[in-house]
Structure 1
C-alpha cells in the first residue's frame, strides 16, 4: 500500500513551526476499579460538568468514517445497549451524588444518535436528573435521512432535545458520493426545514472539505470544490441555520475506503487547505458571522454543545467508545458494545485505558483550546485556578504576534486570518491522534489479551 499517497490519515497538514509540535499519546490499562473510582472523585473539583453520550450504532458504515461505530442489527440491540448505558450512568451517579454537580452541556455523538427513539432520550434525561442538577438541554448528532420524518423530529424536540448537529456534509451530489454518504441534497434541505419548524434552539450543520478524488469515479477540480464549499455555506445561511462547522475528510486506515489508497485511486489537495479556510473567513466577514472556533462560524457568540470540554474537563463520558476528561485524569471506555454490556452488567466500570495529565500539560491543553476558540485571555485560565496567562504562554503569544498569527488588544489576543488558518491545521492534525487511538483500542477490544500500554506517536 502506498502510504506516501496525498491523503489525510495522520499529521500531514503543513503548519508553521510554532504550532507543529508532534504529540505522543500514551494510555495505560486500568486494572484496579477502586483506584479508578478514587481518581474519578479526586479529579472532579468544580461544580459544573459536561456529559458526553456515545451511541455506537449506524445503519451502514460510511466509506471514510473516523469514529467508533458498528452496524445496528435491530431495534432490540439498540434498546438493550441503551438500558446498560443508563445503568452505567447510575453507577457513576451514585459515586458522585454527594458532589451535587451541575450538568451544563450534554452532547450525544456516534455512530448515529438519531437512530434512538425519543422515548429513550426522555429516559436518559430522567436518569441523569436523579444524580445531577441538569442546567441544559440535550444536543445530538443527526443523520439527514432520519430528519426527513417530521413526526420523529417533533417528538425529539418534545422530550427536551433542542440542539442538533446535522451531518449534511454537502449539498452537492458528487461530494456526497465521493464520501459514500447515502442521503441526498434534498434530504439535507428537508432535515434543516423540519428542524427549524420544530423550533430547535440551535442548529449546527457539518460540512466536509478536502473531499477525496477517486480515480475513474468522482474527480472534481480544485476550483470547483472551492465553489461548491462556498455555495454550501451560502445554502446553510439562506436556509437559516445558526452555525456552520467545516472539517477536512479524514481517511482512517481502518475505514472501508482506505483500500483505494493501495490502488493509487485516492487523493486529496492537502496543500490547498488554506484556500478552503480563506473561503470560510471571507464568507463569515461578508455576512457578519462570528468565528467561534477555527473550524466553526456562527450567527451569535454561542456554539452547539460539543465535546470541547474534552480538552480540560470536567467531562464525563458514558457508553461504549466514550472518552472522559476529569482535571488531571483521562480515561476511555471499551470499544465493543457486547463487552461493554458484559462489564456494566457485573457492576464493573467499562473504562479500559487511562492516563494522568500533569498540571503543566493541562495548562497547554487549555491554551490550545483557547487558540481553537480564536481568542486567548486571562479569564479562561481562571478555570484552572490561575489568575492570568502564564508567562511562558505570554512569551509564545508574543512570538506569535511578531509572526502575524495573533493581534493583541489590551489583555486579549485574537487570531489573525493567518492565525486561523495555521491553528485550524494544527487542530486537525491533532484530531488524527484520538482517531488512530480509537482504531487501536477498537482492534484491541476484539480480544481478551489487552496490552498494558497503548501508544500513538
Structure 2
C-alpha cells in the first residue's frame, strides 16, 4: 500500500525565510540583466461569492464591488511597480494565468484594465497564452464573451464533481444540469481550451463517480482536466462537518485505487499527464502549467498571497487583502518574505523537485550541470526511488511509475536535504505545510 505523508503541492523552492530582508530582492531586480530569460505570470484574485467548505487558499468572501475595485487598482499598481525593475523588463512572458479565489468576480472593466496593464508594461510574447479560472455562479455570458474578445485561450471551471450526492457532501451549490448548461454555453464561444477541476477522495465517494465525472467532461469536449485529491484541513467547514456527522475520507488504499482508475479512464479517453496533476488532450497542453514547473524559467506573481521565483529567489506577498491594498496605496512592494539566494545545492534540489512534477528526471542533465555534487548528494536517492518501484530507468531518464505519480510530493521531499536533513518528522511536516522556514 502506498501511504502519502505529505499532501501539500510542492512547487516553490527554496522556501521563503522571514529572517531575510525583503529589500534584497528589490535591490537585485533593479540591476541590469544582460540575460534574456523567459517567465510565466500568475495573477491572484482572492475574492469568492461563496467560500468552498474545503478551501485552504487565500480567499475573501465579498458582497460589494468597492473592495474588488480597490484590489484591482492595487494589482495594477503592483504590476507597474515591478515593470520598472530592470530584471523584470528583461523577461519574455509566455503565459498569464488568472487564478483564485474567483477571477470571474472581476467586472468586465476590471479584468480588461488588469490585462491591458500587463500588455502595456510587460514584455509579452506575440502568442502569449492567457488563462482564466471562472465560477458558474458569477461568470455571466457577458463576461465569457469579454474573455473571448480579450483573446483568452484557456478557460477553467472549478467543477470538482458532477455528482449531486457528492456536491451536497462538499457543500457545493448548483445541480448537475446547471453545470452542464454553463459548459455548453461556454462551448459556443469556441475557446481553444476548456478545462475543469475534478476532485477525488471525498467522504462517501465511490470509484464509479470519478469515472462518470471524467466521462461527462469528455462528452462536453473538455480538453484539460486537473485531477486533485481532496485534502481536508482542520479549521475548514468540511472538517467540522466531518466531525459532526462522523464522516471519514477513503483510506489510503482506496485513495490510490481512485487515483489509479481516474488515470486509466483519462488515458482511455485520450488525455495524458503533462505535469502532475494536469491532464490534457494532445495539442491542447497548457503553456502555463508546463512552464510553471520548468526550473529554467522564472515565475512573476501578483496579488495577495501570490508566490513566485525571480532571479534566484522565491518570494511571497502578504496574504491579508487589506494589508496588500494598503502597501500598494503607499507605493510599497507588498512582499511578505523571500528566500536566501539559491545556492548551487538548492538549485540542484529545485531542478529535481520541479522535474519530478513532469514525471521525468533527466540524469544526464544533472550530471553535466552539477558533476560531483549530484553524485554525492542525490544519485543514491534516485536509485532508492527505482528500487521502491516508484520509477524506472530508461537510458538517461528516470521515469515515474503510476505509484510514483501518486507519491510525487513524498518523493520531492527526499530532495530537500539542504533544509530538512537531520530534522524531526514534526519539523518537516511544519515546513512543508507552511512552505516557509
Normalised TM-score (structure 1): 0.79
Q: Does residue 324 of structure 2 align to residue 340 of structure 1? A: yes
Going from structure 1 to structure 2, the CA distance change for 1:29 and 1:161 (only over 3 Å counts) comes to: farther
What do the CA deviations read for 1:70-94 (whole angstroms, capped 9, x no partner)? 1113122212210111001101101
Q: Does residue 233 of structure 2 align to residue 252 of structure 1? A: yes
Match of 1:191 among 143, 157, 182: 182
Following TM superposition, by how much is the alpha carbon of 1:393 offset from its aligned partner in structure 2, in angstroms?
Answer: 4.1
**1:266-305 alignment to 2 at 5 Å?**
266-271=247-252, 272-300=254-282, 302-303=285-286, 305=288
* Corresponding position of 1:51: 41
1:56–1:111: 8 Å Cα contact kept in structure 2?
Answer: yes
Match of 2:222 among 223, 228, 241: 241
Q: Could you tell me how far apart the structure 2 residues matched to 1:183 and 1:426 are?
A: 38
What do the CA deviations read for 1:338-368 (whole angstroms, capped 9, x no partner)? 2111111111111012222433223222212
The alignment yields a C-alpha RMSD, in angstroms, of 3.5
Q: Could you tell me how far apart the structure 1 residues matched to 2:413 and 2:381 are?
A: 21
Going from structure 1 to structure 2, the CA distance change for 1:256 and 1:311 (only over 3 Å counts) comes to: farther
* Corresponding position of 2:199: 208
Normalised TM-score (structure 2): 0.83
What SS does the corresponding residue of 2:231 show, helix, strand or coil?
Answer: coil
What do the CA deviations read for 1:406-427 (whole angstroms, capped 9, x no partner)? 2333222322223223226657
* Corresponding position of 1:369: 354
1:407–1:415: 8 Å Cα contact kept in structure 2?
Answer: yes
Q: Could you tell me how far apart the structure 1 residues matched to 2:136 and 2:248 are?
A: 27
Is there any run of 5+ residues in structure 1 with no aligned partner, and where? Answer: 1-12, 213-219, 439-453
2:96–2:288: 8 Å Cα contact kept in structure 1?
Answer: yes
Going from structure 1 to structure 2, the CA distance change for 1:31 and 1:80 (only over 3 Å counts) comes to: same
Match of 1:360 among 337, 345, 361: 345
1:30–1:351: 8 Å Cα contact kept in structure 2?
Answer: no
Q: Could you tell me how far apart the structure 1 residues matched to 2:352 and 2:370 are?
A: 12
Going from structure 1 to structure 2, the CA distance change for 1:230 and 1:336 (only over 3 Å counts) comes to: same
* Corresponding position of 2:101: 111
Following TM superposition, by how much is the alpha carbon of 1:436 offset from its aligned partner in structure 2, in angstroms?
Answer: 4.7
Match of 1:405 among 390, 395, 405: 390
1:293–1:374: 8 Å Cα contact kept in structure 2?
Answer: yes
* Corresponding position of 1:102: 92
What do the CA deviations read for 1:387-443 (whole angstroms, capped 9, x no partner)? 99943544433333333222333222322223223226657999x9799538xxxxx
Aligned residues: 411
Q: Could you tell me how far apart the structure 2 residues matched to 1:111 and 1:98 are?
A: 26
What SS does the corresponding residue of 2:398 show, helix, strand or coil?
Answer: strand
Q: Could you tell me how far apart the structure 1 residues matched to 2:387 and 2:344 are?
A: 28
Going from structure 1 to structure 2, the CA distance change for 1:241 and 1:363 (only over 3 Å counts) comes to: same
* Corresponding position of 2:75: 85
Following TM superposition, by how much is the alpha carbon of 1:330 offset from its aligned partner in structure 2, in angstroms?
Answer: 1.4
Deviates more, 1:264-273 or 1:236-245: 264-273
What SS does the corresponding residue of 1:52 show, helix, strand or coil?
Answer: strand
Q: Does residue 327 of structure 2 align to residue 326 of structure 1? A: no
* Corresponding position of 2:403: 418
* Corresponding position of 1:441: none
1:43–1:326: 8 Å Cα contact kept in structure 2?
Answer: no
Following TM superposition, by how much is the alpha carbon of 1:124 offset from its aligned partner in structure 2, in angstroms?
Answer: 1.9
What SS does the corresponding residue of 1:211 show, helix, strand or coil?
Answer: coil
Q: Does residue 309 of structure 2 align to residue 309 of structure 1? A: no
**1:144-183 alignment to 2 at 5 Å?**
144-147=136-139, 149-183=140-174
Is there any run of 5+ residues in structure 2 with no aligned partner, and where? Answer: 417-428
What SS does the corresponding residue of 1:146 show, helix, strand or coil?
Answer: coil
Going from structure 1 to structure 2, the CA distance change for 1:396 and 1:350 (only over 3 Å counts) comes to: same
Q: Could you tell me how far apart the structure 1 residues matched to 2:348 and 2:332 are?
A: 32
Going from structure 1 to structure 2, the CA distance change for 1:337 and 1:410 (only over 3 Å counts) comes to: same
* Corresponding position of 2:434: 437
Going from structure 1 to structure 2, the CA distance change for 1:362 and 1:265 (only over 3 Å counts) comes to: farther
Q: Could you tell me how far apart the structure 2 residues matched to 1:51 and 1:195 are?
A: 24
What SS does the corresponding residue of 1:108 show, helix, strand or coil?
Answer: strand
Following TM superposition, by how much is the alpha carbon of 1:333 offset from its aligned partner in structure 2, in angstroms?
Answer: 0.9
Q: Could you tell me how far apart the structure 2 residues matched to 1:337 and 1:104 are?
A: 27
* Corresponding position of 2:134: 142
* Corresponding position of 1:4: none
